[in-house]
Amino acid sequence: MPTNYSRILVVDIESTCWEPSPPEGQVSEIIEIGVASLDINDLTSRKDKTITIKPVDSQVSEFCTQLTGITQDLVDLEGIPFKKGCKILEQEHDSKELVWASWGDYDREMFQSQCERTETSYPFKKKHINISCLFAIAQKLNRETSIPKALEILGLNFDGSLHRGIDDAYNAARLLGHMLLNFSHDYTMKES
């Protein structure tokens, strides 16, 4: 299937987590998939969807709730199976047709790992953009940074709640749009 370059799907996940490590028998699992998109024609970002996933091999810890605001009650009440969440990405968000992006490689690695572990079809194309890496290169930083710090560097504010999938995805899409705007502007100037 050919790649559609008209928009970029930006995804951010939240996973079960513990401080300092998981209890015996539990593994980190995706509990929230935030989906945003970046329209390539006008470089506008939009929040598309939050998909709540019910974990099977772990519980939402108090630490995880403090970090994300996601509770075990929420995933029990609203959560759907991981496989169904992946199908939603494919059917409602064209994840197999679009280039997708995330802030860092964690999201890509978690999807690959959880898909393997649960024998679920990987819901994305292989074409992935690591926005954090791209930002560090564009800004000539010594290392990658967080979304809030990247926004601060550009004089922008974080929109929403930190560590919520939809808001992190949206802000990452905004940063990618800003970089592409500057790239196209610089490229146009050099062509003139």
- Give the pair of three-digit tokens for residue 129: 């953009």
Task: For Cα atoms 85, 87, 90, give the angle at the middle one, nearest 5 degrees.
Answer: 115
Catalytic residues: 14, 163
| Upstream peptide bond of 55 is cis (omega within 30 degrees of 0) | no
Alpha-carbon distance of 46 to 37, in angstroms, equals: 6
What is the β-pairing status of strands 45-52 and 98-102?
Answer: unpaired
DSSP class of residue 114? Answer: H
DSSP class of residue 140? Answer: T
List C-alpha distances in Å: 96 to 79, 87, 122, 124, 149: 23, 10, 9, 5, 31
